[in-house]
Amino acid sequence: ADSMFWLGNIYFGQNRYKEASEMISEAQQVFQQTGNEQGVAGCLKKLGDIYRMQGQHDEAIEVLSDAQKQFETFGNQLRAAECLQALGELYRKQQKYDEAAEMTLAAQKEYKEIGYKQGVADCLMTLGCIYGDQAQYAEAVDMFSDAKRQYQSIGGIVDVAWCYGLLGITHRHQGLYKTAKEVFTEALELF
């Protein structure tokens, strides 16, 4: 079952989603037959990722919700938080902003509890996007700025640049063109 799961992951990495889905589903069946509930949950998470990449948001939400509950039951906070974070991004794509914020904040809380700073920063960036999508620009700026500081503290230079870019776009939406230009210039100076 492990080999099937990893082969499915390879197909996923190659954007061969049909083969990935088939292989992960087979692995899930074997894990179920052998009573490996962690393996089943891992397959559900990966199937959710596959559905998400294919734009099948409702299917992704269903299996990621199942995976999240199972990981929570096992006490696997990291994997549960990853599912919550993915759910937040899916709800954002569907413009269900209350649900998106709820899931993202729950993921952020889990990441904080286990000390996973990258996850906390990723959630801040997602929250900034959620606010920005709703034209709540001051809140978006706060989130992107917090995310930028978090990424700087862990040395995530590419993520810092993304934050600068998102800050620039947000300032542009606010009509603050001079500030936007300054932020975009700071992003360029990182490289």
Q: What is the pLDDT of residue 173?
A: 96
- Given a cut of 80, whether residue 1 has pLDDT beyond it is yes
Task: Report, in angstroms and rounded to the nearest whole number, the Rg of the chain calculated over CA atoms.
Answer: 18
Average confidence (pLDDT) over 163-172: 96
A 10 A CB-CB count for 36 gives 17
Measured CA to CA, the distance from residue 3 to residue 66 in angstroms comes to 23
Q: What is the pLDDT of residue 78?
A: 97
- Given a cut of 90, whether residue 189 has pLDDT beyond it is no
Q: To the nearest 10°, report the CA torsion of 78, 152, 13, 9.
A: -20
Measured CA to CA, the distance from residue 151 to residue 97 in angstroms comes to 24
Q: What is the band of 190 on the pLDDT scale with cuts at 50, 70, 90?
A: confident
The class of domain 1-96 in CATH terms is: mainly alpha
Which tens digit of pLDDT belongs to each residue from 71-108? 999 999 999 999 999 999 999 999 999 999 999 999 99
Average confidence (pLDDT) over 113-135: 98
Q: What is the pLDDT of residue 110?
A: 97
Q: What is the pLDDT of residue 43?
A: 97
Average confidence (pLDDT) over 53-58: 95
Catalogue the E-assigned strands of the chain.
none
Average confidence (pLDDT) over 166-191: 93
- Given a cut of 80, whether residue 191 has pLDDT beyond it is no
Provide CATH 1.25.40.10 ranges for the chain: 1-96, 116-191
CATH topology of domain 116-191: 1.25.40
The proportion of the chain whose per-residue pLDDT surpasses 90, expressed as a percent, equals: 96
A 10 A CB-CB count for 91 gives 21
pTM above 0.85, yes or no: yes
Q: What is the pLDDT of residue 127?
A: 98
